[in-house]
Amino acid sequence: MKIIGKLLTAVFFVFGVLFIIGSVNNPNPGRTFVTGVVLLVICLALGFFSFRKTPAPLSNDQNITYKIDIPANVSMDAMKCQACGGTLSPKDVAMVAGAPVVTCPFCHSTYQLTEDPKW
């Protein structure tokens, strides 16, 4: 399947380049040029899917560890929303860019979880 993807990528690339080169000497270059660009875009999309490497498992593991660790810490205390005082559950805390972010299910406010000194 990946070999077919690579072959198609090469074919679309060659045709895309040919169309763009062809559009230079074409009396009505607009449509030919657009066709070439579309072919190159398809080539890029195919290339992205067939040549990309599988995501590094390390980063996935880290994400999962964060998601498990932080709610486990937080669930020791009953947390309350800073905006409306509603009770928050651990599943309302998500890691965004390495920082725990709370999304309140009651008032839908989103804010970073600041570390409470008493933990």
Rg (CA), the chain: 25
Considering only residues 84, 96, 99, 114, which one is a binding residue for Zn ion as defined by CB under 5 A?
84
Does the footprint of Zn ion cover residue 106 (CB under 5 A)?
A: yes
Distance CA 30, CA 8 (A): 25
Positive or negative CA dihedral for 96, 98, 99, 105? positive
- Provide the b/e sequence for 54-79 (b: ≥16 CB within 10 Å): eeeeeeeeeeeeebeebbeebeeeeb
Considering only residues 83, 90, 94, 103, which one is a binding residue for Zn ion as defined by CB under 5 A?
83
14/105 with CB nearer Zn ion: 105
Does the footprint of Zn ion cover residue 107 (CB under 5 A)?
A: yes
Would you tell me how many other CB atoms lie within 10 Å of the CB of residue 13? 17
Q: Which stretch binds Zn ion (CB under 5 A): 34-42, 47-55, 62-70, 73-81?
A: 73-81
Nearest distance from residue 81's CB to Zn ion, in Å?
3
Does the footprint of Zn ion cover residue 21 (CB under 5 A)?
A: no
63/110 with CB nearer Zn ion: 110
Q: Which stretch binds Zn ion (CB under 5 A): 29-37, 52-60, 75-83, 91-99?
A: 75-83
End-to-end Cα separation, the chain, in angstroms:
52
Question: What does the binding site for Zn ion look like in residue numbers (CB under 5 A)?
Answer: 81, 83-84, 86, 104, 106-107
